[in-house]
C-alpha cells in the first residue's frame, strides 16, 4: 500500500503544482478516473465438491493522464488486485495430482498496468511508448466493469491470454478514412517457462521478476472497422519467440508463438452482440513442455504439458428490455446470455498427451442493473462442462458490483 499511497501523493502534488502555474489550463491538462469491482461467488463443482464460497475484491484501478503540451501526454494506470500485496500459499487441486503454490502477493498485487508517453502530432495518429496495452482481443479494451456484463472478465480470453495484457514496447495507431483504425508495434516477448496445460500462454507475461527480459521481441498488429465508438469489427495478430526470455537458457530451439483472433461488437438497440474467435500455435511445444518439467520448484510455475494449438471462442447476446417495455426506466437494465469454448490441448505434439480435461465450455446467463451511469450491479449463473472421460459440471452463481468514476 505504501507504493499506492506514494503514487497518489505524487499525482495530487503534480496537480497542485501545475494548477498554481496555469490554473486556467489545469482542467484540460490533467484527468483522473477510478474503477473497481467486487463479487460474491457460490460454487457447486462436481470435480471439487468441497470448494468454498468466496468474496473477491477483484481489483481497483486509478487512471491518470497529464497533457504536457499539444502533442505530448503521459498516461499511468495503477492497479490494485485483491486488496493488497505480500506472500500467500495456495493449493491447486486441478493440476496433475495437486500442488502447492507460493504467490508473491497477499490476496493480490499492486502494479502499473500502463505507464507510457503518447505523441500525437495530429488527430489521426499517435505513438505510445513505455508500458502499453497489447492491442489484441476484446477484453483489453472492455476492461472496466461498466463496459462488460459478466461479473468476471471474459472467461475465454481471461483463460488463454494474460489478464489486462500490457507489455513494454512501442505501439503506433492511425485512423484512416474516418472509420478504419490500424495499430501496429513491437513489445517485449513472453516467457515460455510459465506456459501450462490449463492456460496455454496466459502466465507468460513477465510479472514475476524484478526486471523484464527483452532478448525476444514480438510483433503485434490490429485492424478495426469502426462505424461507432462502441461498434466495430476487426482482426488482430501476434507473433514472437518465447525461447530467449526464459529465466535460464535451457531450451535449445526456437519456440515461436503465433496468435490470431477475429472479433465483432454490435449495439443495435435493443440488442447488443459480441463475438470473438481465437487460435494460438506454439512452435516445438513438446520441447517446451520437457524443458518446463525440469524447472526448479522455486520458480513457482505449473510445469504441466503445453498444447501445440489452443482454440477459443465466445458469443454474447444482451437485451435492454426498456426498448420493448415503455414503462421501464431507460438504460437501467440489461439481460444477457453467453457461451464460451476453450480447448488448450486442441492439438498436441509428440509425446504430449492430448488431455480432454482441457476442453471446456460454459453457458452463462445474467442481468445488469444500472442505477447510475458510473455504477452497475450484476448477477449471473454459469454452468461449465469439463471434457474429461466422464463429464463433470461446475456451477457458479455470482453477484457483485462495479463502478467507474470519471
User: Is the pLDDT higher at 392 or at 100?
Assistant: 392
Q: How confident is the model at residue 18 (pLDDT cuts 50, 70, 90)?
A: very low
pLDDT tops 80 at residue 268? yes
Quick one: pLDDT at residue 45? 93
Rg over CA atoms, the chain: 22
Residue of 156, 273, 176, 256 whose CA lies nearest to 223: 176
Domains, the chain, with CATH or none: 33-405 (2.40.160.10)
> For 229-243, what is the mean pLDDT?
95
Quick one: pLDDT at residue 345? 97
User: Is the pLDDT higher at 333 or at 8?
Assistant: 333
> For 158-170, what is the mean pLDDT?
94
pLDDT tops 60 at residue 88? no
pLDDT tops 60 at residue 63? yes
Quick one: pLDDT at residue 80? 85
Say which range, 16-30, 349-363, 392-406, has the weakest mean pLDDT.
16-30
Quick one: pLDDT at residue 200? 96
> For 307-328, what is the mean pLDDT?
94
Give tens-digit pLDDT for 124-163.
999 999 999 999 999 988 989 999 999 999 999 999 999 8
Quick one: pLDDT at residue 83? 61
pLDDT tops 90 at residue 6? no
Quick one: pLDDT at residue 108? 60
Q: How confident is the model at residue 40 (pLDDT cuts 50, 70, 90)?
A: very high
> For 284-312, what is the mean pLDDT?
91
> For 155-175, what is the mean pLDDT?
95
Q: What is the pTM of this model?
A: 0.87
Quick one: pLDDT at residue 132? 96
| C-alpha cell of residue 252 | 535449445
pLDDT tops 70 at residue 15? no
User: Is the pLDDT higher at 130 or at 18?
Assistant: 130
Q: How confident is the model at residue 84 (pLDDT cuts 50, 70, 90)?
A: low
> For 299-316, what is the mean pLDDT?
93
> For 188-215, what is the mean pLDDT?
90
Quick one: pLDDT at residue 25? 53
For the chain, the residue count is: 406
pLDDT tops 90 at residue 225? yes
User: Is the pLDDT higher at 97 or at 143?
Assistant: 143
> For 376-383, what is the mean pLDDT?
98
Q: How confident is the model at residue 394 (pLDDT cuts 50, 70, 90)?
A: very high
pLDDT tops 70 at residue 91? no
Amino acid at each position: 500500500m505504501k507504493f499506492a499511497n506514494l503514487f497518489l501523493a505524487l499525482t495530487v502534488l503534480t496537480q497542485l503544482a501545475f494548477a498554481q502555474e496555469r490554473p486556467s489550463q489545469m482542467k484540460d491538462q490533467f484527468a483522473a478516473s477510478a474503477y473497481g469491482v467486487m463479487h460474491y461467488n457460490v460454487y457447486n463443482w462436481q470435480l471439487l465438491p468441497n470448494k468454498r464460497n468466496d468474496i473477491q475484491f477483484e481489483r481497483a484501478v486509478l487512471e491518470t493522464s497529464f497533457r504536457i503540451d499539444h502533442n505530448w501526454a503521459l498516461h499511468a494506470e495503477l492497479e490494485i488486485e485483491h486488496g493488497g500485496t505480500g506472500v500467500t500459499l495456495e493449493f491447486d487441486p486441478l493440476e496433475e495430482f495437486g500442488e502447492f503454490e507460493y504467490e508473491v502477493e497477499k490476496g493480490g498485487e499492486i502494479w502499473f498496468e500502463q505507464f507510457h508517453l503518447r505523441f500525437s502530432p495530429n488527430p489521426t495518429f499517435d505513438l505510445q511508448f513505455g508500458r502499453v496495452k497489447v492491442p489484441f482481443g476484446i477484453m483489453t479494451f472492455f476492461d472496466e466493469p461498466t463496459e462488460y456484463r459478466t461479473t468476471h472478465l471474459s472467461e475465454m480470453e481471461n483463460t488463454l491470454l494474460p489478464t489486462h495484457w500490457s507489455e513494454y514496447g512501442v505501439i503506433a495507431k492511425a485512423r484512416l478514412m474516418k472509420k478504419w483504425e490500424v495499430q501496429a508495434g513491437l513489445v517485449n516477448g513472453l516467457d515460455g517457462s510459465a506456459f501450462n496445460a490449463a492456460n496455454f500462454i496466459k502466465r507468460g507475461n513477465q510479472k514475476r521478476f524484478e526486471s523484464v527480459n527483452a532478448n525476444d521481441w514480438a510483433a503485434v498488429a490490429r485492424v478495426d472497422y469502426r462505424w461507432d465508438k462502441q461498434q466495430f469489427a476487426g482482426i488482430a495478430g501476434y507473433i514472437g519467440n518465447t525461447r530467449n526470455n526464459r529465466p535460464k537458457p535451457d531450451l535449445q530451439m526456437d519456440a515461436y508463438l503465433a496468435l490470431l483472433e477475429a472479433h465483432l461488437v454490435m449495439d443495435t438497440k435493443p440488442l447488443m452482440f459480441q463475438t470473438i474467435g481465437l487460435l494460438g500455435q506454439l512452435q516445438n511445444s513438446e520441447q517446451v513442455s520437457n524443458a518446463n518439467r525440469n524447472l526448479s520448484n522455486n520458480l513457482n510455475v505449473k510445469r504441466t504439458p503445453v498444447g501445440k494449438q489452443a482454440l477459443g471462442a465466445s458469443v454474447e447476446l444482451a437485451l435492454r428490455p426498456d426498448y420493448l417495455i415503455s414503462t421501464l426506466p431507460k438504460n437501467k437494465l440489461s439481460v444477457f446470455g453467453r457461451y464460451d469454448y476453450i480447448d488448450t490441448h486442441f492439438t498436441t505434439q509428440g509425446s504430449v498427451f492430448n488431455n480432454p480435461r482441457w476442453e471446456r465450455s460454459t453457458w452463462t446467463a445474467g442481468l445488469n442493473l444500472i442505477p447510475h451511469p458510473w455504477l452497475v450491479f450484476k448477477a449471473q449463473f454459469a454452468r461449465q462442462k469439463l471434457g474429461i472421460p466422464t463429464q463433470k459440471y461446475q456451477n457458479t452463481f455470482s453477484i457483485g458490483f462495479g463502478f467507474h468514476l470519471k
